[in-house]
Structures are given as C-alpha cells and as structure tokens.
Structure 1
Amino acid sequence: MFTNRRFNIRSKIILGNVIVVIILAISVFVVNGRIAALQHEIDFISNHDIEVHDVTNQMEKNEFNMETGQRGYIITGNQSYLDLYSDGSIKWVESYQKLHELVSDNPVQQKNLSLIKSTIEEWMSVVGDPTIALKKASKTEELNQFFAADPGKKYIEQMRNQFETFLATEKKLTTQRVSSVDHSNYLLKISLYLLLVVVSLISIVIALIISKSIITTLNQVKQMIKAMSSENGDFSKRIEITTKDEISDLGHATNELLESVERFAWLQSNAAEVVSSYQGINNITNLADAFIAKVALLVEASYGVVYIREERRMKDEFVRQASYALYGEHEAGLSFRLGEGLIGQSALDKRTIIIEQVPNHYYRIVSGLGQASPQSLLIVPVIFMNRVEAVIEFASFKAFTQIQQTFIEQIQSNFGAAIHSVTGRMEVERLLNESQTMTEELQAQSEELQAQSEELQMQQEEMLMINENLDKQNQLALIKTAELEKAKDELESSSAELQKSSQYKSDFLANMSHELRTPLNSILILSQMLAENNHKTLTVEEERFSKTIYDSGKDLLNLIDDILDLSKVEAGKIDVIISELNVTEIPDLMKLSFDPIAQSKAIGFDVIIGEGVPEIISTDGQRLQQILKNLLSNAFKFTEQGKVTMKIEKAEPKLVKQLLPKYKNELALAFSIIDTGIGIPLEKQQLIFDAFKQVDGTISRRYGGTGLGLSISLSFARLLGGCLILESEMGKGSNFTLYLPCLSSKDLSSAIQLEIAASSVIRPLYPRAGEVTVTENDIFLNKKVLLAEDDSRNVYALVHAFEAKGITLKVASNGQECLDILRADPSFDLVLMDVMMPVMNGYEAMSAIRMDSILKDMPIIALTAKAMKMDRQKCLEAGASDYISKPIDMAQLYSLMRVWIKQ
C-alpha cells in the first residue's frame, strides 16, 4: 500500500487512526439509536413504576393515619390525633389524584384505584366522621354500641385487599417491562461484540501494515543502542546518521540524550569529589582553600577568590579567606559590604553575575612565562537557608560554559552548609575555650583570696605579739595609765574581731558560692536530660519531677550568683573595668532578654532612647547591664498588667549637680525603668535596698525572690560613680532611675578613688498617701457573664473556674436560649459564645445579637473547637468581638475577658 508512495511515519499512523475512527463513528451511530430506545424504557421503569409504588404506599399510609387518628382521638380525646385524621383525609385525595394520573394509560388499574377510592369514602362516611362527631358530643354510650357492632372492620379489610390487588397488578406490569428491557439489552450486547470484533480486525490489519513499514529501519537503531549499552555505560559513542527521515530524527535525539547523560554524570561525579575534598575540615580558612583549589581546576578557571561573610561593627561584610592563583595581595579587595562592588551586589541580590569581554586593564593573570587579562568573570553567591554565607569569584581566559556555570551553582549550597557547620563548630570551640579560661581565672582568684586571708591572719598574730612586748616594756612606766590602755586594747580587739568576722563571712560566702556551682552544674544538666526524656523511659509524672528539679536548680543558681556578687561587694573585691560601651546596643540586648517574659505575661515592653544621647560612653558595661537586668526583672515580677518601659535620656544638668555634686562634668545619662505594677509603700522604700529584704517579707508573700537584686544594683551604681533613685506609689507602679556620669576611664577611676559616689536618693513619685490593693483580679469581681455552651463538661469546668474569680455566671444551652436571656436581661458584662450548638448555632446567635439595637455593643468572645485558618475571620464577620480556640487556655481567656470587660 505504501511501497509506491512515500509516507512519513506520522502520516501512516494518522491515516490508520483515521480509518479506525471512521469505522468506530459508523458503529457508534448505528448503536446509538438502540441505546437511546433502551434508555427510554429504563427511564420509564425507573421513574414511572417506582413512583407508582411510592404513591400507592403513601396513599395507604394516609389511610392508616386516618384510622390511627380516628381511634386515638376516640380513645384519648387528644386533639393531636384529630389533626392526624384531618391531615390524612386531605393527603389521601392528593395521592389518589397523582396515582390516577400515573395509571391513566391502564384502564384496569384505574378501575382498581376507583374501587379503593369508593371504599375509603364509604369508611369515612360510615365510620370515621360519625364516630368523631359522637366523641366531640361526648356520647360515650352510643360510641360503645357502635364499636360493639364494629361496622368499620369490613371496610378496613376491603381496603387492604384492594391495595394488595393494585400493587400486585403493578408489580406484574413492572416485571413484564423489565423482561422486555433485558431482551433489548441482550440484543445490544450481541451488536456491540460484533462491532468490537470487526473494528479489532481492521485495527490489526492497519497496525501490521504500518509496523511493517517502520520496523525495518528501526531495528538498525535498536542494534546500535544495544551495542552502546553493553560496553559498561560508555556515553562517548554517537549514532551515525545516514537517513533523512524520522529515523534520522530519532538518531539525533539519541545523540542529544547521550550528551545530556554525559553532562549529568560529569556534574554528579565532580560534585561528589568537591564535597569529599573538604570533609573533616574544622577551620574556615582551610575549608575555603580546599574548595577554591578543587573547583577552579574543574571549571578551568585561571583565577579564583572566596569571600566569607563576617559580622563587623554590627554589619555584614564579606572578607577574603582564600584564593587561587592570586598574584599580589593588593590586586584583590580584602572585604566588601552588602551592595559594595560586584561582590557586595551579588550578595545583596542573591544572584550570579557573569561578565564577558573583560577590559585589558581590569586584572592580569600571572604565570612564570607572562601575564594576560582574563576574558570572562563569574561571581556566584553561596546561599544556605536563604542567607548568603559567601561569594565566589572566578576568572578565565575563555567564556565559562553552561555546564560549568551549572556545576558551580549546584555545589554552592553544599559549600554554604559546610561554611555554616564549620563556623558553628569554631564558635562552640571559642566559647568552650573562654569558659575554660574563666574557670581557671576564678580558681586562681579563689586561691589568691585564701592566701591573702592566711597572710592577714599571720600579720595580725605578729601584731598581737609586738603589742604584748610593748605592754610589758612600758608596764612600769605607765602604771597610772594601765586601766586606760587596757580599755583601749579591748576596744581595738573588738574592732579587729568585728572586721575579721565580716571578712570571714564575705570569704565564706564567696567560696561557698563558687564551690556549689560544680555539683549544681551536674544537677542542672542531668535534670534537663531527664526532663527531655528522649528515650521515653520516664512517666509523665517523672518528667514533671525532673522539670521541677531543673527549675529549682536554676533558681538556686541565680541565688548563688546574687550571693557571690554581694559578698564581693562587701569584701571590696569587685573590679571596675572601664571600656567603651555602645549605648545604642542596649535596647536590643534588653529586648532579647525580656521580650519572652513580656509576651508570656501579656504586658507591653518598650525601650526608648531620647534625643542627644551619646552613642559611645566609658563605663563598666557588664555591671551596667547587670543593674538594668535586675531592675527589669523586678519590674516584670511585680507587674501583672499594663507595661514596662525603659528610657535612656540625657539627665538634666541641675539634677546632675544635685545628685552627683562632686563631678565637674554635668553630662550624665538617666536609665529609667518604669512599670505599672503593685508599687512600693513609702515606709518600705528604703528597706528594699538592704540585702535579703523585701516589701513583703512574710512566709506567705505573693512574690518570690531573695531580696538581693536591688542591694547589688545599688552597690554597683555607686561603684560606677552613679546613684539610684526610686519613685513609687502603691497601686500605680514604680520608677527606678539610674544616673550614670559620662566620663573617660581616667576621670571615672579618679572619681571612685575620691569616694564621691552618691548615696541612693528616694523620693515618692505620687505624694498623695492613703489611696487604695485595685488589682487585676478585682476586675472580675461581681461581673455578670453569660455562657452559651451545650457541653456539660465545659460548663462544669468554666463554672468552677469563674466562681473562684468572683464572676456571676449564667448558662444557656443553645443560641436561641442565649438570645432570649439577653433580651430579657441585657445587663451582662460579657458573652462567651460556643459556635457549634443545636437549635441555633453560635454564628446565627451572634448575628442576631448584632442586629438588636439594645444588644449590638455587647462584648462577645467566640469559643470553638475548630482552629482552621479562616475560623477567626468567620467568627468576627458573624459579630464576635474576639476569638479563642478550644481547648481553652484559661490565662489567655482571662486576658481577653479583662480587655473587653474594661472596654
């Protein structure tokens, strides 16, 4: 068929398919008519016969309802039975009319239906209506006589028989129609099978003809592919193309596939080789050297540089760490900031930069035989977790190929992960070294303190011996003054013993605080490991015990730190280390430490820097931060609502002269910690600065703590040449202000030596005394809350929780009941609305409340067990003031209730 004319493979396949499609279309056209007729018969049975059966059953049910209603009303006199009788007497007529229409083409069934109608009408006229009339007239005796004769029985039996006859006839007709449909369906199957055989034979013939025209030349290509696959995956060979038809296209496609696979294999093997080249390296410079040396060879680069990200002066810079074939240190930049040069721009944009035709004077690649400028530059950012860790620059005498560019972009993520890992390990090692150094220094200081203590003791003993010798020598000459000298000696001895006791106490506290750290460290680590329960070997209760041990250990560690600081202050062993401090960094440090506390207590926390505050000051930054952290910790501890504010401002010159009169320089900073907490009574504002003293020192106090923080803060403030001022009033909050002079290290050291550090000044913020204990919990006292909730368990839990807060709670079991209660009594302070309830759900109830002019401003908090993304918006659109999901966090619920009750 195709030997004399040339057809390409596509034309052959299309022609064969067209022939098959035409035959199938003819077959479908022939069969479609038969299927339509068959479907019509099936639809008639499905719609008509089933509906006849349903309507017949409904008519029979109506008749039964009439009988039931008649008997129930006569027996009980209940009006609902009479309604059932009346409803049935109407609906059986409707069913009869519909059924009469459905069997209009069948005279036999119409006749049977007419007999049923006559029987029902006779039963109603002889039995139903008369007996109901007798019952309404209370003629009990006549009713008894009627039912003794029981004339209605024959009608009921007659109706049952008539309905059975009607249904039996209809079932017989349905069976006949189903048999007819089955026969038609059988004929349709036979026709389809015959068509399938004919179409299959034609398709096979066409397929044989087309395949014969293709298979001869296709076998040649197959043999070449087998030959290549048998030689251990050698992708270097290519198919020689000799034809100009589809087989040639197949050969070209196969050759392109081989080239693609060869490129992929090259990328995979070399990427693995690069990664393995820097495995086990723990130094960032060595890592960069290994990477650039390996990759430069693989991409045929004549020059390469690696710039690693480092944080300098609070900004990211990319610093040169390694190079390949670099000649002259001045030829390549040492560092770049974001956006600076092509290196910085590539890091800022997170994209690869390719430059072709580099100018001759740009950079020269040098060898022993000469030097020349590169032709192409390739700059690639190394990105890990969406952050640029490094930037790589390559130069080459020829343009970088696409596969080389792809190779570099493919391996950069692994290199970024390696940089991140190595820098992390280096940082851990640095911290470990610093920790070890600090431990050794503390141990050396402890030994030095012990040696000094022993030396002082020896000196005191020598002095006592000298005094005794002097007393003996002067005893004869000073007989008259013996008693006076004896009294003087006793006084000096008492003073020395007192000083000695104080020194021993400070040394003991310092030594004991230090020694307790070693076992406490193990307790903290082991208890934390137990609490994490990674192996799931502990019960829930044991996990809770471990967490309690860990928290207690942390509290004990904080206490030890405070005691150690206090002992150092008393012993005069605190060294003031003056250095430059960046004031603008303090807000970030404080926010980092206290933002989580503010969020957990649902209170605000702001840090404000005033105008004119110098960026750099000279002071002991560690002691200043400790003062600020102690003051902020106290502020958060005693603040239940509102916010805590930290202000850094220039102190007023007049106030500086008053508080720090010995300093000639009037420039000072004021660090204010302002809270809206419980406040401090005037009579205890001086007491709290004493060690181990608190406003509430009883064993039943509400707030914990050791009472050391303010004492230590005051001591450190004096060491730094400043002073600490308290302004507070009960119930309105407190304001602790640290005034710190801005001096050079020389000036500050001189000031400390002259002992001109001022004492703490205490001045009430609000002079009005005698004002009254409103606490945050009092806002709930005697408040009326309406809870709409159908779950008794939730109701039980919330009732007991709210009773403890003094809340008056009323419960509605659904939205409609909630709406009725509110309309009867709109004086509720808040509504807690469950969403999923019977009768009327929460969405409907909230919408109805918002449409009521009296209730439209009622605060409503929606409660729902759903927690999908759009549930909150759906509740708000329905009219909720706020939203909280189940299981309910009571602390969060109380917080929301406070907000809306206040409003």
Structure 2
Amino acid sequence: MGKKLAKATRFETFGSELLDYLCPLLGAGYGALYRSGGQDGQLIVIGSYGCEGRHVDQAAAPGALVAQCARSGQPIALDALPADYYRIASGLGDAPPTTALLWPLPGIDGVAGVLELASFRRLNEVEQELMTQVTQLVGLALDNLANAARTRELLEETQAQAEELQASEEALRVQQEELRAINEALEAKNRALDEQGNRLRASEEELRIQAEELRTTNESLSEKSRALNEFNERLLQFQSEIENKNRELEAASRYKSEFLANMSHELRTPLNSLLILAKDLADNREANLSAEQVESARIIFESGHNLLRLINDILDLSKIEAGRMDVQWEDVDLANVTAAIERQFRPLARERGLDLCVEIEPAAPPTLYSDGAKLQQILTNLVGNALKFTHAGSVTLRVERAEADLLPAAAEPADWVAIHVVDTGIGIEADKLARLFQAFEQGDGTTSRRYGGTGLGLSISRGLARILRGDIRVRSTPGQGSSFILVLPRDASTIAIDRAAAPAAHATATATAAAAPQTEAVTQDPHPPAAPVAARARAAMPPDDRERLAPEDVRILIIEDDPAFARILADMVRRKNYRALIAGDGESGLELAAQYRPNGILLDVNLPGMDGWAVMERLKAQPLTAQIPVHFITAADEADRGLALGAVGFVTKPATREAIEAALGRVLKAAAPRRPQRILVIDDDDGARLAVCRLLRQPGVEVTEARSVADALQALREQPHDCVVLDLMLPDASGFDFLDRAAELRALPPVVVHSARELTREESLRLREYTDSIVIKGAQSPSRLLDEVSLFLHAVQRPAAIATPATPQPADLAGRRVLLVDDDMRNVFALSRTLKAQGITVIAAQDGRKALAQLEQHPDVDWVLMDVMMPEMDGYEATRLIRSQQRWAQLPIIALTAKAMKGDREKCLEAGASDYLSKPIDVDKLLSMMRAWARPR
C-alpha cells in the first residue's frame, strides 16, 4: 500500500487511495481528507470515504471544527454523537456513528491538512499509535505532493516560455531576413536617387529659364484678369437689372391678369341689366314700339352678347395667365366629345356649303383621363376657326394615336392621342405661324381685314391644352389649308408639367387646391374693387311690396345689391302677379326670409359684407328657412358649389329673361305642394329589400317594392317614380337588362345601384350611361345609400336631421343680454347706448381674459360681440377658449374688426366666430345679424 501511495501524483488520487486503505483497516464508516492551501485559510477536500450521494464541505470555513483542528494542531475526539449528527449508510440500512476523530497532519512548515474519521467504536491503543505515525507520514506526503505540483507548474511555465522564446527567435530571424532585403532595396533606390539628382540638377537650369518666361506670361495674364473682372462686374450688374425687369414684368403680368379678371366680372353687372332690358324691348310685348325701335333694341341685344363673349374670353385668358384655371379630372369618352362637336357645328357647315367629317381611328384610345369641358372648349375653338377660314371644301375632325414626331422626347405613342382639325381653307403664312398663339394675334390684322375676331381663341386653346398636360401643333400651307393638332396624354395624372412650356398652367394643372386661396378671388365670385361695392351698398334699393302683402300672396325674396338688376327682377316677379321683397345685402335678406317666409329666394353671391355662399349656409341652417327654395342668379361661375349647398338652380350673369323666368318657375315648382315622391326598390333578397325600404321610408315618400325585373317594369308602367334603388343580381334577368328595357318604356328616373357585386371596368362604364351613383353593400352602405338617394329626393332626409317646428324668432331684442368685448371705451360707450335703446342688457369687458371672467359670472348671455384687436389676449384666442368649453359651444359670437382685410372673415370663422362684421359698425346690420343669430328663449 505504501508503494501505491508513493506513486500518487495528484491530491485527489492520494486522498482517495489513503482513505480506501485506512477506513477498512480502522473500521471507520466515514472518512474525509482535507489539505491546506485554500483561500482565506480554508481547507480543501481531496478525498472522502462512505460519502457517496451525501454532502461533504468542499472547503471548511475557519470557524468549523476541521479548521479548528488544523489551527490548534491537536487531535479532536467526539463521543456520544447525537442521532442527527451524521448517519453511516449501507445497502442494509443506516445508523449514526458513536465517535468522530480529527487528526492534524503535520508538515514541514506547519499543518499540511486534517484527517477526519467517524466510526461506531473508539480506536484501541494500537490503532491510535498507528494513526500517530500515519498522520506524520501523510503530512509529509501532502507537502511532497504540493512541492511536486509547484514543480510541475514551474516546469510547464518554463516549457511555455521556452516555446515563446523559440517563436520569438524565429520571428526575429524572419525580420532580419526582411531587413536585409529592405537594405538591399534601399541601396538600389539610393543609387537611383543619385542618378535622378543628377538629372534634376540638369533640369533646374531649364526650369529657371521657364520660370522667367512664366513671370512674363503672368504679368500679361494679370492685366487680362483685371479686364475680365471688370467685365464680370458689369455682367452681374446687367443680370441684376434683367432679374429686376423680370420681376417687374411678372408683377405687371399678375396685376394685368387680376385687373382683367376683376374688370371682366365687374362688367357683367351692368351688362346683365342691359341684355335683359334690350331683350324685353326687342320682344315689344306691349306693341308700342316701331319696327325701327325694335330693330335698334335687337342690335343692342346682339352687341351686348358679342361683348359678353369677349368678356368671357378675357376672363379665361386671365385665369390661364394667372394660373387659376380649375381642372376637373375625369374619364372623358372621346366618341361623346366628337359627337357633341359634330352636333354643334353641323348646321353651320351645312349653311356654308362645307363638308364636316368626324373620324375616329380604331387604334385611338376610347377614353382619356382629362377635363371634358376644357377639351370640348378647345375643339370648339379649333373647329369654329376652321369653318370661319374655309370657303370651299371640308373640315375634318380626326382622332388617332399620336405620331412620335408630335410627342416629347422618350414619350410612348401608345400613351398619347392626337386630335386633328384639318381644313381646306386659306392657310397661314410661314412668318405668322410663330406668333399665331399670342393673345390678340390675328391671321389678318390689317384695317381691311376680311375676318373678324379678337385673336384670343388660339391663345386660350393652347393655354388650356397645356393645363391638360398636352399641346397644340400646327401645320399649314397658304392657299391649301391648315391642320391644328391637339396632342393629349391618355392619362394626364402620369404626366409632369413642363414648366418652361406652360408656366401659367403649372400652378393649376398640378392641383387646383395648391392655388385655392388665390383662385377664390377670380373663380369663385371675385369681389370688385372696394369703391363700386361701397357705391352699390349706399345706392337706394327700389321699393318692394312688403307693405302690400296679403296672406294668400306668393312672395319672392330678391337678395341683390345692384339696384338696377333688382328692379328688373322685381318687375318680372310682379308681371307674374307675385309679390317682390328686396334686400340689398345678406344680413337684410336673412332677416326678411325669417320674417316673411317667402315662397322662393333669388340670391346673388357678390354681396357687400356677408356673401351669398354664407347667406345660403345660414338659410339652410335655420329650421324656419331651411325648406325655402333658393335659386342663384350671379356672376360667379360655380354652379356645382351652389347646387351642393342645396340650391334648386343656378344661372350665371348676364342672365336672359327666359333664364330668369325659368328660374322663377323652378323656385315655385320646388315650393309648391307636390305629390308624395316614389322610390322603387328592386332586390330579390327579402331581408335586404325590407331593410332598404325601412331606411328610405319617410313622411312624403312612398316606397314600392319589386323582387324581379318583371315586377319592376310593371311598377314603372303603372305610375312614375322619382328614384330607383337597384340590385344587379335578380332572378329573371340582370340589373343591366332592367336598365336597357326600362329606358325604352319612358324617361328613366335617377338610379342608385345598390349591390354586393364587385364591378368590372366594362360594367362600370356601361352603368355610367344611366347613373354615377353606385353603393357597394357593406357596413357603411346604409348611410351611403341614404346620401345618394337624398341627392335626388329633397324629401328623403336622415331621421336625425328632420327639421322640427321651431320657436318663432322674437319680434325684438328686448330683455336679452350681450357681452361686449372691446378695449376702446368710446366704442363700448357708443355701442352700449345703442343696444340699451333696444332693451338689451350690456355687459362690458376690456380684453379677452376679462371676457372669460364675465362669462363665468353671467353664463346666460345671448351673444358675444368680440373685438379682434385687443391687448394681452386678442379676440381670436378668446374665441377659441370660449369654444373649447362645451357649455358655450353654441353661443353666438360676432367678431368685430377695424382691419377689414382680405381673409379676416375666414380667420374669424376658423377661430370659432359665428359671424363677422367690419368697423365702422353699421348698427342696422349689427341688429339684423343679432336677430338672425338669436336663439329661442
């Protein structure tokens, strides 16, 4: 056994073999061997006996009994161990030992370790003597093992260092070889440098000579550079002058366009009265004019119409030049456009003995994504010019796919269409082609010219073509005829605008919304200069019939600021035995509408103060006036906007007598009691049909049901209907078949397609022949369906929006309260005195913060008159803070301002004001406005 222990080289091997020998020899059931050398004086277990599956401290702490034995160097014996101290287990059972023994293991420099045994008996004297000798030997053996371990570590470290040294020597050898090679290369380079130095010394003399020559050249260049700098300075000054001139020209062009637009609009007002009166005289209703006088009136009427055409051309040109021409992008059917042109000019061509031909090549696209109205205007100008300058032969309108030589670079011919207008007329001289499209340029501009015209048509046409992302080309041979070619993209949305080719069109064609603020001033109902407005506002309006009204009288309210035209409208109303009420501004019109409840209203847009759009919105917002039919008669060319607001019609000034009589007829027809309106609902799904019928059934509306095409056609034969709600999937035929067959019976009423079926492009185009209203069944379809039907039937309204009888408006303003917010005490005093005379209680505040405090103290005020310009908190901020509280969300707030600048009204309304009035305050207008906004008590 001693030989075996002597061969052990590892602590663990030594410990295991020692305990495996001693424990059986001494009858111990447990044994553990610890060695010194752990951190913080701990003893490390290097062997154990009888401890399989049991815990043995791998490191004994300094306070433990094992550590105490090592520290004291004395054996420790424990007898009569408790039952839970430790249990010695075997396959047959386990039991606690009766004694535990710990021996220190002396080494050369101190205790080398501790041996711990546990047994069921105490050791006898021989065994104790044996352990005394064994512990000495084991201690020395542990020291030897520790020394051997340290020796091995040093040997391994030495070997590692030897290997590193060998690697370093190899690296050094390689570096020496590299340095030797580098030295050889450097020696070669030195030799080469010596040779180069010799050559450089030879070149220095040459360079010195060249430097002398360069000095002379530099002096010459310096003189030239100074002269060039002086020239550049003059050039920059010239460029600056050109830029200033360009800005002046742009400003002059803009001012000219705005002037033309405003003057074109302003001319319409007197021209409106002139045309109506001239037509009335020419008709000679009372037969009291001579034939010569009738002819004179007719000449005045025709001359006025010619003047109107010129004004329209000037207005179009000014819109194009100013970049304010609106574009309505849509799918345009070319066959429909060319058919309309043919219908328009066929009688004129026949009268002049010319052939008018329309050709559409098969390769041409059937539709364009463009603006149909502007496309038709361009072709009208081109075909009209061709007929005017052609005396014999023909005029041909041909649609084909564009040729490559007509297109911009890199454009695909398949993506473009060319519309040719070819004539066999007089042709155009080559020297006139370059300026043909300039404004007021004519083919024959001499004093003896044969052909009339202003020379605006081609300029307008090219401007419109460029707005539509295209252009107009011209080819002509004098004496043989001309060909004007309109080139347009199939889909204008994919074409970028050429800023250089169409500077005026750019702002509009990209998106009219970008120029909306400027466009309003021209395209919506441009306000004329301040002086004419003020003059019309001050002019005395003609007397009306309010003093002679009887309950049974039909009364028409005329809201028009032009006294002459108001008198004409009143006379036409009286000729029909109706009564006329006249208001010269929007506020007065609202007051008369609420007081007299007219049968209809004729409304102008261009009114002083509140414009016609605002009047229309207020009329429709008040339950007392919401159902009164309103017809616009105005110079503003915005029929879509007027109809969208709920007008029954729209006539653009100058208006003919027939147009005004037709407007009166539409108003009275809308106001007259009508039969219940009928809706035909066609759907084979009983549940869906019942749901739609319940949705649409309202007072004054009859709903007829049909579950098949045959039932629907029979319903249409029995009685007329005002609207049809159609499902496309029916049991006996499709919805398309129904539309085709129903159109043969009688005029088809408006149709709303209500179907769950997804439509193909061809099916959508086929439906467009009958309707643009298509509602796909889904979660939002009931609301959409009701909206679409409501466009056709004024009686169909949302249940929540049905007007209920309202409390009549007060006859006066006595007993109400107003909060007057103004920092100028003179204004507060003057307005308070006026309002108190009406029986109104006035509460004053000097700024926005005090106004909010007054509202807290007096929450029952009926109005707030809010000055805009105030210290600390202005009227805009105060209005926003008032509106931010739900309890004051409906409180009428009338903004008062002394600026009266463009956009003030919109800014006040955006902040939350109910209405707007500029200073100096017109008391009558203010009281009228307060009456209009007075809430029921």
Between structure 1 and structure 2, the one with the greater Rg is 2
Which one scores higher on RCO, CA 8 angstroms, separation ≥ 6? Answer: 2
Calculate the TM-score normalised by the size of structure 1: 0.29
Calculate the TM-score normalised by the size of structure 2: 0.28
